[in-house]
């Protein structure tokens, strides 16, 4: 795709740069907020080489597909001379469409669902998504590098003594080692604080001094005794990383709140000298005495519920339940709240067991879509599936959810149940072969195979195939009747 040329063509057809207020992208689309929608030549945009579809309106959405949207956004910034806004959440992305009728089903269904959601609760989950979405490419990169290193070790165990290999393997762990700093930075930015203070907020819960200063040898050659760990009344000893990234997010948010509160009360002439120092001191004290103990309990509770209880104790049934419930969580917009849990599991263990189980939801959806495509005679519905299914196989499930299964209702249920069978099989595999999971975030569907713990790929691929097959069979025999298509009208 010639991004520079396409950018110039798009700018001309939306009424020129002067008609564009702001622009950004999601996983599949370039999104242009225009002042005058009537000045946009929608039909000409649809005919451009590389454009898969166009959604008209106050925000013109040019669908170019995964992998192209971000590059087009960068090229459009150069061609237009404008600065793009931050990339929006992938949850707002939809599949490629090539007419308004196809677009209406997915877009209108999603709008109805989101209209029923609690604004305040889902605003919190959107904040979490905005904090972690910019980190996803790093998770993918480091996860793949870690997988390559692990495969290398399996093939040649002696390579671990090679310093070049050690350097290569270390690259895969760079993100996890600095995750708390990046999350702190992104959280401060998300809530309007100073990003560098967010870095500090991310560093405070991870200070080695919290565990006591290691013994050192003084100038006189005498080894000094280590300091005692920091103790909090009613809680006990603190330790670095207590509470994980949840504690970091809360701390960085608190830093932003304190900073903005102080800025309203301290003269501008003293801003640089007083506000940052007070923000760090006050925020750090609250972090140590309040946030770290509470966030530790939250993280321990979530880990126990989702991993220890649901997967390890629940076994096959737990895997079935988790995979079955994930599509409703996506529909309700609460799935983003699990991202800090995945990130912390990777930081603590090198992988997250939970994510591959939940990824089975995509397999159930794919099987459902294939069954509906085979049974229906409605060309409009077949066109929706044709555009959305390839993205579903690659782990982008929203187009199938909002464009097919949810409007039809019953196929949504059979897709969930189909996912459950894949989750049950994978949970059984974790009991038989020992714990394994995904070493990175951001990939799903077939693409997740590349970041699954080496040697365990067949378990994941097998589970995904079972989810697809179960979703297909349940939908084909029980989940879809032709009269349901009337619900798409």
Tally of CA atoms within 13 A in the half-sphere of 24 that contains its CB: 11
Which residue bears the tokens 């309203």? 264
Q: What DSSP letter does each residue of 273-289 carry, written as one string? A: HHHHHHHHHHHHHHIII
Contact between residue 323 and residue 422 where contact means Cβ atoms under 8 Å apart = yes
Tally of CA atoms within 13 A in the half-sphere of 56 that contains its CB: 17
**Which residues, 6 or more positions from 167, have their beta carbon under 8 angstroms from its beta carbon?**
none
* Exposure letters 244-270 (e unless 16+ CB within 10 A, then b): bbbbbbbbbbbbbebbeebeeeeeeee
Contact between residue 404 and residue 485 where contact means Cβ atoms under 8 Å apart = no
Residue 58 is encoded by which pair of tokens? Answer: 């106050």
- 26 belongs to the catalytic site: yes
Residue from 195, 1, 201 nearest 86 by CA? 195
Question: What phi and psi, each to the nearest 5 degrees, are found at residue 48?
Answer: -65, 145
Q: Which H, E and C letters describe 133-159, residue by residue?
A: HHHHHHHHHHHHHHHHHHHHHHHCHHH
Q: What DSSP letter does each residue of 436-485 carry, written as one string? A: --BSSSS--GGGGGGGBPTT-HHHHHHHHHHHHHHHHHHIIIII--GGGG
Burial environment of residue 164 by CB neighbours within 10 A (0 to 12, 13 to 18, 19 or more)? exposed
Tally of CA atoms within 13 A in the half-sphere of 172 that contains its CB: 19
Strands 59-63 and 29-34: antiparallel
State how far the Cα of 425 lies from the Cα of 317, in Å rounded to an integer. 10
Q: What are the C-alpha distances in Å from 59 to residues 54, 241, 460?
A: 10, 42, 39
Gyration radius from the chain CA atoms: 25
Beta bridge partners of 54: 62
Q: Helix, strand or coil for residue 396?
A: coil
Cα–Cα–Cα angle for 111, 88, 27, rounded to 5 degrees: 90
State how far the Cα of 246 lies from the Cα of 347, in Å rounded to an integer. 13
DSSP state, 86? P
State how far the Cα of 281 lies from the Cα of 278, in Å rounded to an integer. 5
Question: Residues 26, 142, 287, 416: which is the catalytic one?
Answer: 26
Q: Under the phi-then-psi rule, with left for phi > 0, alpha for psi from -120 to 50, and beta for the rest, what region is 192?
A: left
Residue numbers annotated as active site: 26
């Amino acid at each position: 795709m010639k991004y520079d040329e396409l950018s110039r063509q798009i700018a001309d057809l939306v009424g020129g740069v002067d008609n564009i207020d702001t622009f950004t992208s999601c996983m599949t689309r370039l999104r242009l907020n225009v002042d005058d929608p009537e000045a946009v030549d929608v039909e000409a945009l649809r005919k451009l080489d590389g454009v898969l579809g166009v959604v008209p309106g106050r925000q013109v959405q040019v669908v170019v597909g995964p992998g192209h949207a971000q590059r087009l956004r960068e090229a459009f910034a150069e061609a237009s001379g404008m600065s793009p806004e931050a990339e929006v959440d992938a949850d707002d992305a939809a599949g490629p469409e090539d007419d308004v009728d196809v677009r209406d089903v997915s877009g209108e269904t999603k709008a109805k669902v989101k209209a029923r959601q609690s604004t305040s609760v889902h605003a919190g989950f959107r904040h979490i998504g905005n904090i972690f979405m910019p980190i996803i490419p790093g998770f993918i990169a480091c996860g793949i590098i870690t997988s390559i290193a692990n495969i290398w070790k399996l093939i040649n165990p002696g390579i671990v003594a090679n310093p070049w290999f050690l350097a290569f393997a270390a690259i895969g762990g760079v993100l996890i080692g600095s995750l708390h700093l990046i999350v702190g930075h992104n959280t401060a930015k998300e809530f309007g604080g100073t990003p560098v203070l967010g870095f500090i907020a991310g560093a405070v819960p991870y200070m080695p001094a919290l565990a006591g200063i290691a013994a050192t040898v003084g100038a006189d050659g005498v080894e000094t005794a280590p300091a005692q760990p920091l103790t909090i009344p009613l809680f006990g000893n603190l330790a670095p990383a207590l509470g994980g990234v949840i504690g970091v997010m809360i701390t960085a948010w608190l830093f932003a709140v304190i900073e903005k509160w102080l800025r309203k009360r301290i003269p501008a002439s003293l801003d640089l000298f007083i506000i940052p120092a007070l923000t760090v001191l006050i925020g750090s004290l609250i972090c140590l005495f309040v946030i770290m103990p509470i966030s530790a309990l939250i993280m321990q509770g979530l880990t126990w519920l989702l991993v220890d209880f649901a997967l390890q104790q629940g076994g096959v049934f737990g895997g079935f339940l988790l995979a079955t419930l994930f599509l409703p969580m996506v529909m309700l917009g609460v799935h983003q709240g699990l991202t800090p849990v995945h990130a912390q599991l990777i930081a603590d263990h090198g992988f997250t067991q939970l994510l591959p189980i939940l990824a089975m939801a995509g397999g159930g959806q794919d099987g459902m879509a294939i069954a509906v495509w085979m049974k229906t005679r409605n060309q409009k519905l077949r066109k929706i599936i044709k555009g959305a299914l390839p993205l579903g196989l690659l782990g982008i499930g929203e187009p199938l959810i909002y464009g097919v299964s949810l409007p039809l209702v019953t196929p949504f249920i059979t897709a969930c149940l189909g996912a459950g069978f894949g989750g049950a099989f994978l949970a059984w595999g974790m009991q038989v072969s020992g714990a394994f999971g995904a070493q990175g975030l951001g990939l799903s569907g077939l693409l997740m195979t590349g970041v699954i713990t080496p040697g365990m790929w067949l378990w994941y691929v097998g589970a995904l195939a079972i989810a697809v097959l179960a979703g297909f069979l349940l939908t084909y025999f029980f989940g879809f009747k032709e009269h349901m298509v009337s619900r798409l009208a």
